[in-house]
Amino acid sequence: MRVPLPLPLSRPLLLYAHTCPFCAWAARVVASLDRRERLAFLSMLEPEAEALLELLPENERYVTWHLVLPDGTYLRRAEASVVLLELIDLLRPVGLLVRRLRLQRLVGWIERLVSEYRGELGKLVPRTPPVRRFP
């Protein structure tokens, strides 16, 4: 989905639920892998994030994380996961391999599984403060 953004983005933005321990930990891991700082990060409860989430249908806002591109494209689930892999230098070969071998359905299945069990996974990871790298 592509929409006009209420605020300009200079880089892709990862919106995540910092109230979910697993989500906050995963965002921190992604931020640490993003050494060139190509990504921005916001918790879904930040005022800037809320303005972006208002553009989505209410039933889609908090179901999963979102990757918002500077052109106003919202990605989630498998497509967002593949693009995220491609944006991180260390993981780019994995993203390219997924795309080349057309493994997006497998990535989508893994993402749905993780999303479904994120509460249980949150008990296994250390509590981390939310990451904010914006704009």
Domain ranges of the chain: 13-122
Q: What is the pLDDT of residue 74?
A: 92
Q: Which residues in 8-69 belong to E strands, given as ranges?
A: 13-16, 40-43, 66-68
Q: What is the pLDDT of residue 48?
A: 92
Q: What is the pLDDT of residue 86?
A: 96
Indicate the SS3 state at residue 40. Answer: strand
Q: What is the pLDDT of residue 60?
A: 84
Q: Please tell me the distance from the alpha carbon of residue 95 to that of residue 91, in angstroms, as a whole number.
A: 7
Residue 4 pLDDT more than 90?
no
Q: How far is CA 127 from the centre of its chain?
A: 18
What is the bridge-based pairing of β-strands 40-43 and 66-68? unpaired
Most confident of 6-10, 53-57, 78-82: 78-82
Residue 100 pLDDT more than 90?
yes
Q: How many CA atoms lie within 13 A of 44 on its CB side?
A: 20
- Mean of the pLDDT values across residues 89-112? 95
Q: What is the pLDDT of residue 6?
A: 84
Residue 106 pLDDT more than 90?
yes
Return the DSSP state at 60: G
CA angle, 37 then 48 then 17, to 5°: 75
Q: Which residues of 2-28 are buried (b: 16+ CB within 10 A; e: fewer)?
A: eeebeeebebbbbbbbbebbbbbbbbb
Indicate the SS3 state at residue 4. Answer: coil
pLDDT digits (tens, 9 = 90+) for 27-77: 999 999 999 999 999 999 999 998 899 888 888 888 889 999 999 999 988
